[in-house]
Amino acid sequence: MGRMDRKKEKTLRSEIVDTLVTFGSTFLVVWLIVTYLFTPVRVLGQSMYPGLKDGDFGFTNTIARNTAGVQRGDIVIIYLDDQNTYLIKRLIGLPGDTVEMEDCVLYVNGEAVAEDYLDPEYTAQFGDAFFGDIEEVQLGENEYYVLGDNRINSRDSRYYGPFSGEQIRAKSVFIVFPPADFGLKK
């Protein structure tokens, strides 16, 4: 093998190694961002309509969930391990809270809660059936109660029961597509 052949072989090996290192580094950076900062999410279904629509695509804020925690009224992303799927819902009750809905009024710890995030024109279309009563639920130490903004079409804590803090993976959604829905939903 001549000197030129060895030089070509060395250059080819070097290029392959460089390509693999670049690919690996890029993959690692993307994985870290998606896992610990902003996770892509696609809205499936109508449970958060009209604020979030079926097919909306955006990113959730994983780092804010881990650093600032969650507050009542936040939109949260819940992971269901047994179904390998995500839910997007509104956080209603925190650990230790008592939650109940009576006569179309949400009560947390015995006090009426104004649900300003609900669209009154939309809810009025369904009358009292939109809200339905929720029997009093006392949340435990690491339990959270969530509801969909479209109560008439949502499987939430009324169906699944309370969720654990570990199941809440992120909060808020920044919609990027479709452009008409562009913006932060929280």
98 with 136: CB under 8 angstroms? yes
pLDDT (mean) for 103-129? 93
Q: Which amino acid is at 168?
A: I
Question: Which tens digit of pLDDT belongs to each residue from 42-65?
Answer: 999 999 999 999 999 999 988 777
Query: Where in the sequence numbering do the catalytic residues fall?
Result: 47, 89
pLDDT at 125: 92
Nearest to 176 by CA among 42, 73, 44, 78: 42
Nearest to 54 by CA among 41, 66, 67, 64: 41
What's the pTM?
0.82
Q: How far is CA 9 from the centre of its chain?
A: 50
